[in-house]
Structure 1
Amino acid sequence: MLKNKLRLHYTHLRDLLTEEEHKEASIALANRSLSIPIWDKNYFHLFLSIPEKSEVDTSFLLTILQGRDKEVIIPKMLPDRQLEHYLLTDNTPLQANKFGIPEPLSGITVDPKKIEVVFLPLLVFDRKGYRVGYGGGYYDRFLAQCPESTVKVGLSFFDPVEAISDLNDHDIAMDFALTPKASYEF
């Protein structure tokens, strides 16, 4: 199926989740992260979710990361469809951008080459580990700057589709995808 059709369909399905279903699924995803082999790493990149968009609530995953004394890096969108990356500390000031995404206003920047694990926002993924995000290409550009050894972990409320029919050369496959019910390794 084409990315645009998948985007529309899974955005709609995500919006149908009740507040309780959304919370339970987000907690299940965070707990499922404990079952994949990433916990020997130190630098974890995490997107902060947009509550109004029914995205996976990453606050539960953030609690796990902080509880394990991991260095958490969060993104800030730049005008040229690039991301800048900041170490999340108790002193990192956050503010929602024009899309409603909480972002750091300032702080300690982190080179993508230091990032060992990236949790990826997505709507749906396929059985080969490719994801459908929001179509801006921010994460594809960012992942291209990371070392090949960086572990890429997608977070989805939904099981994989068989295939995404319009993949591009710049699409980067994930290493793992987590859903509330299962973990997938690619």
Structure 2
Amino acid sequence: MKKSDLRKKYLEKRKSLSEIEIFQQSEDILKKFIEYFRPLPQQKVHIFIPIHQFKEINTRLFTDYFFSRNISVFVPKIIDTKLISVEIFKDTEFAVNQWGIYEPLTNEDSGITDFDFVITPLLYCDSLGNRIGYGKGFYDAFFEHISEESKKIGVNYFNPDENIDDVREEDIPLDYLVTPTDVLSFFNKGLE
């Protein structure tokens, strides 16, 4: 199926989710992430701030967990047309940008590239790790500049059920997908 069709389909599927379902499934995704990856103190995690209107995974549950375990947390911020990584703390101040996304007030890029985990937003991920975001390409460009050792992990409410037909050469696949019921690895270019 083409990206545009899958994007439309999964935006619609998300619209049907209630606030309770979003919270519960986000909790389940966090539990699966912790069980599988076992994050440790002093590790570094890059994670997105959810866009409420798009009913994204509630990653605030993740950041609270990371802060409580002395895990360093970094979030994306768009400066001009580039995604930078800003370190945040419990007391970091945020503001809403022109796209309705919460971002830290500071524009200071951490310069970190050796994240242990990069938890990535998406609308859909297929069985080969190809992801569909919102079509801006920020994460593909970001992935080009991080360590090859960094685990690129998508989080989604839905498991893959069809492949993306129009993957481009510049699209960088994920290493893993975490859903409320599964953790899928794409190292063998298929589901484990």
Mapped contact 1:112–1:145 kept (Cα < 8 A): no
Deviations 1:52-97 (A, max 9, x none): 22111111111221122100001111222x1111110234221011
Distance in 1 (CA, whole Å) between partners of 2:86 and 2:45 is 11
Query: For the residues of structure 2 that align with 1:128 and 1:77, how far apart are their CA atoms?
Result: 28
In the superposition, relative to structure 1, how do residues 90 and 60 fare at CA in structure 2: closer, same or farther (>3 Å)? Answer: closer
Quick check: 87-96 or 164-173, which moved more? 87-96
Q: Does 1:118 align with 2:118?
A: yes
Partners of 1:76 and 1:157 lie apart in 2 by: 24
Partner of 1:37: 37
Structure 2 CA distance for partners of 1:78 and 1:107, relative to 1, 3 Å: closer
Q: What residue in structure 2 maps to residue 46 of structure 1?
A: 47
Range with bigger deviation, 34-43 or 153-162:
34-43
- Deviating beyond 4 angstroms after TM superposition, the runs of 4 or more aligned structure 1 residues are none
Contact residue 87 and residue 107 of structure 1 kept, 8 A: no
Following TM superposition, by how much is the alpha carbon of 1:109 offset from its aligned partner in structure 2, in angstroms?
2.8
- Distance change >3 Å, CA 124–CA 105, structure 1 → 2: same
Contact kept? 2:67, 2:89, Cα under 8 Å: no
What 5-or-longer segments of structure 1 have no aligned partner? none
CA 102–184 in structure 1, closer or farther in 2 if over 3 Å, else same: same
Tell me what 1:176 maps to. Answer: 176
Asked if 2 retains the 8 angstrom alpha-carbon contact of 1:116 and 1:150, the reply is: yes
* 2:5 matched residue in structure 1: 5
Secondary structure at the residue paired with 1:57?
A: coil
Which residue pairs with 1:20 in the alignment? 20
Superposition pairs for residues 37-116 of structure 1, below 5 Å?
37=37, 39-40=39-40, 42-80=43-81, 82-106=82-106, 108-116=108-116
Are the structure 2 counterparts of residues 38 and 151 from structure 1 closer, same or farther at C-alpha, using a change threshold of 3 Å? farther
Q: What is the aligned length?
A: 185
CA root-mean-square deviation: 1.5
Does structure 1 conserve the Cα–Cα contact (< 8 Å) formed by 2:125 and 2:132? yes
Give the TM-score normalised by the residue count of structure 1. 0.94
TM superposition shift of 1:107: 6.4
Give secondary structure in 1 for the equivalent of 2:37. coil
Amino acid at match of 2:30: A
Q: How much has 1:114 moved relative to structure 2?
A: 3.0
Alpha carbons 1:117, 1:151 under 8 Å: kept: yes
Matched AA of 1:185: S
The structural deviation recorded for 1:112 is: 4.0
8 Å Cα contact 1:119-1:152 kept in structure 2: yes
* Deviation per residue, 1:16-37 (Å, 9 max, x gap): 1111111111111111111223
Q: Which runs of 5+ in 2 are unaligned?
A: 187-192
Find the residue that maps to 2:24 and give its secondary structure. helix
Distance 1:107 1:99 in 2: 17
SS at structure 1 position matched to 2:113: helix
